[in-house]
Amino acid sequence: MPTAKQIRSDFIDFFRDRGHEFIPSSPIVPVGDDTLLFANAGMNQFKDIFLGLSAPDCRRAVNSQKCLRVSGKHNDLEEVGKDTYHHTFFEMLGNWSFDDYFKAEAIEWAWELVTKVWGIDQDRLWARVFEGDETDGLDKDEEAARLWTKVTSISADRVLAFGKKDNFWAMGDTGPCGPCSEIDIDLGPDMCSMQHVPGHKCTLTGNCGRFMELWNLVFIQYNRDEDGKLTPLKAKYIDTGLGMERIVRVLQNKKSNYDTDLFMPIIDSLSDLTSRKYTSRLGNKSDNAFRVVADHMRAMVFAITDGATPSNEGRGYVIRRILRRAARFGRELGMHEPFMYKLVPVVVECLGDVFGEIAERAEYVSTVIQSEEQSFGRTLDRGIEIFNDAAEHAEKSAQKTISGEDAFRLYDTYGFPLDLTQLMATERSLEVDTTGFEKLMNEQRERARAAQKSATFTVADAELPLTEDLHKYHTDQCESTIISWVKSQGYSNQGRIEAAGNIGIVLDRTCFYAEAGGQVGDCGLIESEHGRFIVEDTTKIANCVIHQGKFAEGTFTVGEKVTATVSKDRNAIKKNHTATHLLQWALQQTLGKSVAQQGSLVGPQYLRFDFTWPKALTVEQIKKVEALVREKIAEDEPIVCRVMPRDKAEKLGAMALFGEKYGSEVRVVAIGTKNKSHLDEAFSKEFCGGTHVERIGSIGGFKITKEESISAGVRRITALTGEKLTEFLEKRSEIIDELCETLKVPAEDLIDRVEKLIKENKKLTKQLKSASKQTGVDVLAEAKKLLEKCEKLGETSVVVGRLSATSVEQARSAVDMVKKKAKSAAIVFGFDDDEKPALLAAVTDDLVKKGLSAADIVKAIAPIIDGGGGGRPQMAQAGGQNPEKINDALNKAAELIKSKLTNA
């Protein structure tokens, strides 16, 4: 039986032998393409070629593409686990012709590979072609139909024609498109899920489970314009997609994709973790949970590896939904604690040798998954209870619908994505009121928006002019003309600027840097004969630079000439920005290439850099990173910034930020090459529009002041350079000088000395504790003696005397002990409370009933020691000034008690 690995190689080798170049899969998170959340087909990375925007590097290509179909046009989430061949994550094997061969070869080769190389029985196979479409004025794809019978051995009655929905492929509403032709396989009547539905007939595109599409051959030969009109393309393309998991399942002779070596190791591990058995039955609840978790694991590992992290919007929310869905299915397998992160290694075991990136980032991925599982786990069980209540309620109602309020509450308080609630509802044959849910969501968004509204400017982009701002790269000062200004809700390009408070000035040209790419906006001054304007921040809306701030003096008029001067902070910002690039390079040198930038902040005070890494850096790692950066600073190499086409920059290996959108022209900042035309020699190359120093040496120094975690799998480093570093070090040095002075030791001995002090302190504290325990024991012994020797009036002990106690607590514990032992007692103790004389009196309840009161006793005797006090009849205390009179007070107390008790 061939392994999945073998099958993948068969495919690639087959097309390599036919002149195709192997192009590695593009990341599942598309770089520089915001129109798509995740790669969903092999053609994604070649899109610009079909659109005529870029030229292909080769005429024939082959690849195996990582795909995710959980959002947008292609969403197979609902199918997962219920059928045997739709996954969220899957591999698409494909071959391409860029204006080279066309339908004949595409059809012939596909058939040859499937039937000859892999030996699939041709009696199980069917072919589909496009039947034509009247509205589009297209005839049947006779060419393809003819070719099937001409270049393959398939019989004519097995080539069927289908309509636009199934057999015409388009990238979007406009652009390249064309008919397609598939190879489908008959899995046998047993696989039909509708066998028992009267009148059901299995068809190739009926989705009943009997026929499975294996391979889609797309013939891109038209372009659709804005009016929907089709014109033939000059260049024609072949774009094919063969489902890897599906072909593996056929060649391994399994009844389900999940039974292949692509999934079974994951399912086996899950079986070990849950101590449950997987029995491979469709429609079985527990088996279904196995399939969903295994499928979702692969999706999470690949998506997180390629840069998506769970969050509340966009790509991140898709990942969060997958994870939460899987966690909920985990509950059905009895898993109430985080468990999925433990499955990362087995996914890596299955696919890590083909997609090395998942092996490289496995630790990071499992940290992210574990932390998400933990946070959702806290509310999931409670959420399920809430859902069950809501479902019971819905079952009793006529509409059989979970209310929008309940769905929203589950979302908002318990973190249930809407599709999870829907899925759970479907399982109980219920619906969810999504309109109601959306309404509540919108209300919440509105509230958030209202809360967020600050002093920022609201102007329509279209109104704003373009500012020429390239001067920011070479100068700190420039002569400009005022062209307009904006205040909180308006834009004006005429007259005098009449505004108090915060406004934004727009110039025809500027040297101010507007906030972007983590670098803060510049501050500075704009002045003319008539006014001085303090710029507090600079931002950009579309291509218009807005200098935000206030007038310090006078005002300007539109059209007036002004001088714009950037504050000196700019120098510090440049140092920090270049240092950020050095830091990223040094981190990759130290920790490996899996370190990816997640964000940064470059300002005049410090720099901050966020990156993916699963755990805290060790002291050695931090030292190494610092040393590498400092070494480079000492070498004082130049920095070269150049604008070039994006693909050229990519080829240079310049690092881009994940998820950042770049135009066709990008600016590359390269460090470490003297030769401007040999940027490839530079050790650091990044896509970057920021301002930088000219030579690294001027950074002056570098130190990491903090390393911390900001979210699962993401660390943050804060560092200093230049003057701020000098200030920091000076301050530290002063602190040390002061410490030396106080402790009277030279700086070298400080650490020893402080350690010693801490040790001594610990020892003394311990001694003190045991000493006070000691006295506590003594006090109890004294009290016991007083009790033994005390005078008795009938059953009542009159215990009066001095204790060596040093606190009220000690005296109280003595009283408690005496009370317990004596049953009936009147007690008065004299002692020192923190060096002051004190008295404590107590009376058992039986005596209180007879009219004896501790408070009365204390009140009567406290004046003797020049003090006062009080309390309750059961217990009272007093403090005084005269320690010599304690015995007098005690004698008086004894007298009082005796007279009270004998007269009672």
Where do contacts with ligand ATP occur on this chain (CB under 6 A)? 41, 69, 76, 86-87, 90, 92, 213-216, 241-243, 245-246
Smallest distance, ligand ATP to C-beta of residue 263, A: 12
Smallest distance, ligand ATP to C-beta of residue 215, A: 6
Nearer residue to ligand ATP within complex by CB, 247 or 840:
247
Element (H, E) at 423: helix 418-427
Element (H, E) at 346: helix 344-351
Smallest distance, ligand ATP to C-beta of residue 446, A: 36
Smallest distance, ligand ATP to C-beta of residue 107, A: 15
Nearer residue to ligand ATP within complex by CB, 87 or 296:
87
Strand order in the sheet with 714-721: 597-602, 607-612, 714-721, 702-711
Alpha carbon distance, N-terminus to C-terminus of the chain: 106
Smallest distance, ligand ATP to C-beta of residue 67, A: 7
Element (H, E) at 564: strand 561-566
Between the alpha carbon of residue 450 and those of residues 323, 444, 454, 488, 502, the distances in Å are: 31, 10, 9, 15, 20
Smallest distance, ligand ATP to C-beta of residue 245, A: 5
Instruction: Read off φ and ψ for residue 880, nearest 5 degrees.
Output: -145, -170
Nearer residue to ligand ATP within complex by CB, 73 or 661:
73
Beta-bridge partners for 537 = 548
Smallest distance, ligand ATP to C-beta of residue 207, A: 7
Nearer residue to ligand ATP within complex by CB, 41 or 780:
41
Smallest distance, ligand ATP to C-beta of residue 194, A: 16
Smallest distance, ligand ATP to C-beta of residue 90, A: 4
**Whole-angstrom Cα distance, residue 526 to residue 535?**
7
Question: Can you give the three-state secondary structure of 748-759, one letter per residue?
Answer: HHHHHHHHHHHH
**Whole-angstrom Cα distance, residue 226 to residue 812?**
93
Smallest distance, ligand ATP to C-beta of residue 37, A: 15
Task: Tell me the three state secondary structure of residue 544.
Answer: strand
Nearer residue to ligand ATP within complex by CB, 69 or 692:
69
R_g of the chain, CA atoms, integer Å: 40
Look up residue 701 and give its amino acid: G
Nearer residue to ligand ATP within complex by CB, 40 or 548:
40
Nearer residue to ligand ATP within complex by CB, 76 or 637:
76
Element (H, E) at 10: helix 4-16
Instruction: Read off φ and ψ for residue 86, nearest 5 degrees.
Output: -110, 125
**Any idea what DSSP says for residue 105?**
H
CB 419 within 8 A of CB 323: no
Work out the number of other CB atoms within 10 angstroms of the CB of residue 253. Answer: 9
Smallest distance, ligand ATP to C-beta of residue 36, A: 14
**Whole-angstrom Cα distance, residue 67 to residue 318?**
14
Nearer residue to ligand ATP within complex by CB, 54 or 207:
207
Among 656, 588, 645, CA closest to 27: 656
* 238: Cα within 13 Å, side-chain hemisphere: 27
**Whole-angstrom Cα distance, residue 220 to residue 203?**
26
Nearer residue to ligand ATP within complex by CB, 30 or 701:
30
Nearer residue to ligand ATP within complex by CB, 245 or 522:
245
Nearer residue to ligand ATP within complex by CB, 245 or 650:
245
| Nearest residue to ligand ATP on Cβ basis | 243
Smallest distance, ligand ATP to C-beta of residue 392, A: 34
Among 340, 343, 307, 315, CA closest to 325: 340
Beta-bridge partners for 535 = 524, 549
Smallest distance, ligand ATP to C-beta of residue 280, A: 18
> What's the token pair of residue 143?
């060419």
Query: What size, in residues, is the chain?
Result: 904
Element (H, E) at 666: strand 665-671
CB 245 within 8 A of CB 90: yes
Smallest distance, ligand ATP to C-beta of residue 85, A: 6
**Whole-angstrom Cα distance, residue 419 to residue 484?**
48
Nearer residue to ligand ATP within complex by CB, 299 or 787:
299
Between the alpha carbon of residue 422 and those of residues 78, 294, 299, 540, the distances in Å are: 10, 21, 21, 42
Nearer residue to ligand ATP within complex by CB, 19 or 206:
206
Nearer residue to ligand ATP within complex by CB, 88 or 796:
88
Nearer residue to ligand ATP within complex by CB, 214 or 840:
214
Between the alpha carbon of residue 350 and those of residues 4, 269, 294, 885, the distances in Å are: 9, 12, 12, 89
Nearer residue to ligand ATP within complex by CB, 78 or 360:
78
Nearer residue to ligand ATP within complex by CB, 215 or 457:
215
Alpha helices, DSSP H, located in 34-182: 47-50, 103-111, 142-151, 164-167
CB 240 within 8 A of CB 96: yes
> What's the token pair of residue 592?
């490996």
Smallest distance, ligand ATP to C-beta of residue 228, A: 22
Smallest distance, ligand ATP to C-beta of residue 274, A: 25
Smallest distance, ligand ATP to C-beta of residue 250, A: 10
In our burial notation (b when 16+ CB lie closer than 10 A, e otherwise), range 347-365 reads bbebbbebbebbbbbbebb
Work out the number of other CB atoms within 10 angstroms of the CB of residue 414. Answer: 21
Q: What is the dihedral angle through the alpha carbons of 276, 280, 282, 284, rounded to the nearest 10 degrees?
A: -20
